[in-house]
Structure formats: C-alpha cells, structure tokens
Amino acid sequence: MKLGIVVVYLVKDEDEELLRVHLDQIERSTTVPYTIYAGVNRLQPGFRRMLEAHKKVKICQLPKTDLRISEEHAFYLEHLFGQAISDGVSHVAVLHVDSFPVRSGWAKELAEKLSDRCVFAAVRRDEARDLKPNLMCILFPRDYYLAQRPRLTLSAAEKGSDEYASYSRKFPHVNETGVGYGLQTYRKGLTWYPLVRSNRAQDHYLIGSIYGDLIFHLGAAARPDKLFNLDRLSLTGGDQPSFAARSLGFIASLLPEVIKSRVRQRLLKAKEAENLAIYEKVRSKLFADPQAYLRYLRYGGK
C-alpha cells in the first residue's frame, strides 16, 4: 500500500500547535508508506516552512482561484488528487487540518474494508441528518478513482435532477463538498464504508469527536462561525427541538414573524457563544496533552 494523504492547509495564526498535533498524529499512526500532498495556496509563510521541513510532506503548486469556502476546498482537492494519482499512490486519503488518525494502522484497516462494491470509506457525521460522505476523512483506492472519476461537488444539472431528489430522500444530507461521491455510489448501485461517531466521553455533541475509533475531528477550526446544522434545526423546530424551540412554537401564534425572527437570532447567538466556549476548552485540553485527551474521548473516564 502506498498512501497519498491529501490536505488543504488553511490554518489560523493561533493554530500552530494544531498543525503540529495533526502532523504528529499522522506520523505516529500511519504504518504504511505515505506522502502528505499539501495544498498551501493561502497558507502563512511560517506554516508553509513547517510543512516544507517535514520529510513526508510534498508541497503542491495549485492553480489560483477566486472561489471561497467549500468550493475553494473542493477545487484544491481535485487538483491534489491528480498529483497523488500521477505519483502512483495506491490509495488516497483526505484529511482536514483539524482531523487526524488516533490509532496505529488506520489506513490499512480502512483499505481492508473496501471491495469492488464497497468503493471508499468516509466519516458519516449524521449530525443534522447528514448522511453523505464527509471530507474530514475519506479514503479510496486509485482504481476506483480512475474508473469512476468521482467529483466532490454537484453540477447545477445534477442538483436539479430527479436522481438527486431521490438520493436526497433516501440519504438526507447537508449539501456540501463530498455529496458528489455519495450521489455517484447511489447512481452506480455501489456502497461505501461509514465511520460513525464512537466517543465514550465528550465535551460537546460534535466538537472533539472520534469516528470509527480511528479519526479525530476538532470541528470548525478553519472558520469563525461555531454554529452547526443541528443547532439551527433544534432552535427552529427541526428534529428533536430544544426547549427554546418548543417555546417559540408555543408563542408562534401570538407574535408577528419579525419578532419571532429576532428571538431566533438571539437564541442562535447565545448558542454560538456557548459553542465557542466549548471549542476553546476542547482545543486547550487537546493541546495540553493530546494523548491523554484522545484516551478520554475514546475510552471515557476523566
């Protein structure tokens, strides 16, 4: 097995330690020959030098784009896939800068789950009914990629198709990068191996999660917004609405829509502040002693 680990490095100034933990965990947990294919188009010079000094990292020159957020991420990943495949890797794995393996042999274990029918392994976050492959970790063999040429995102025609509507009914999801792989398996009658959340302990329902007892994801490290889809659903009457959402429902017939909208926004701001405080707590615990914190999440206890 020759593994190409593909990462688009967008790192905040204060997250040098996160980058160190990410690289260290990959090195200590990956037992097969590997290269990290690093997309660094908008990475700060100091962090780029860190990657350049790492013996397992290949800095990749990628085209510039005016795209941002998920579209930018997908654009860079597609180019990184091409470079890894051209170098002759047998498997490609995608990670985020705030996701990394937690157990030795992770890549080989995932590769052994695959077959002609089960064509890739990926995190299935489930949060807010999100059943698509999630790019905090996805691993696929080169033969699948070359034969199927999957795309991470959907074209406008695909989004408007009856086939996509059927897929969405069967597999509810947040329409983000990765959904293209989910739709293609549905279209071809194929399957994929899901890594589901496996925490024995937690500080938050999403921030600081372990998937399949193999992959850690901090969550929302690259963006200032710390609201998640389940937060929005629970505060606006979605699945398992919170007490606040039930209260809003009770007063719905009594207040004009403009007032209800203001109440929702205040509740969302309060939830975001709560999530941010938890994020900082989880991040601090991870940086203070990565192995101890990962053990806590995986096995429980203090």
Q: Which of 40-54, 116-130, 270-284 has the lowest mean pLDDT?
A: 116-130
Return the pLDDT at 223.
Answer: 85
| CA–CA separation, 169 and 230 (whole Å) | 18
Distance CA 30, CA 25 (A): 8
CA 48 to chain centre: 22
Task: Find the mean pLDDT for residues 34-51.
Answer: 97
272-296: average pLDDT: 96
Q: What angle do CA 281, 125, 230 make, to 5 degrees?
A: 70
How high is the mean pLDDT of the chain?
Answer: 91
Neighbours of 226 (CB within 10 A): 22
Taking each helix axis as running N to C, give the angle between helix 257-288 and helix 16-29, from 0 to 180 degrees, rounded to the nearest 10.
60
Confidence of residue 230 (pLDDT cuts 50, 70, 90): confident
Domains plus CATH for the chain?
A: 3-223 (3.90.550)
* Euclidean distance between CA atoms 153 and 175, whole angstroms: 9
Q: Do the Cβ atoms of 100 and 208 come closer than 8 Å?
A: no
Q: Which residues contact 39 (CB under 8 A, 6 or more apart)?
A: 6, 7, 8, 9, 60, 62, 76, 77, 79, 80
What is the pLDDT at residue 147?
96
| Number of Cβ atoms within 10 Å of the Cβ of 227 | 16
User: pTM to 2 decimals?
Assistant: 0.90
- Strands (E) in 9-56, as ranges, are 34-39
The pLDDT value recorded for residue 126 is 78
pLDDT at 3 > cutoff 60: yes
Helix (H, G, I), strand (E, B) or coil at 92: strand
Instruction: Check pLDDT > 60 for residue 214.
Output: yes
- pLDDT of the residue at 150: 96
Q: Which amino acid would we find at residue 141? A: P
For residues 173 and 179, what is the distance between their CA atoms, to the nearest angstrom? 8
261 CB-near residues (< 8 Å, 6+ apart): none
Tokens of 117: 């029918």
Strands 91-95 and 134-141: antiparallel
Quote the pLDDT of residue 256.
Answer: 67
pLDDT at position 123:
98
State the average pLDDT over residues 38-42: 97
What is the per-residue pLDDT for 238? 47
pLDDT in tens, 236-277: 544 444 444 445 454 454 556 667 677 778 878 888 999 999
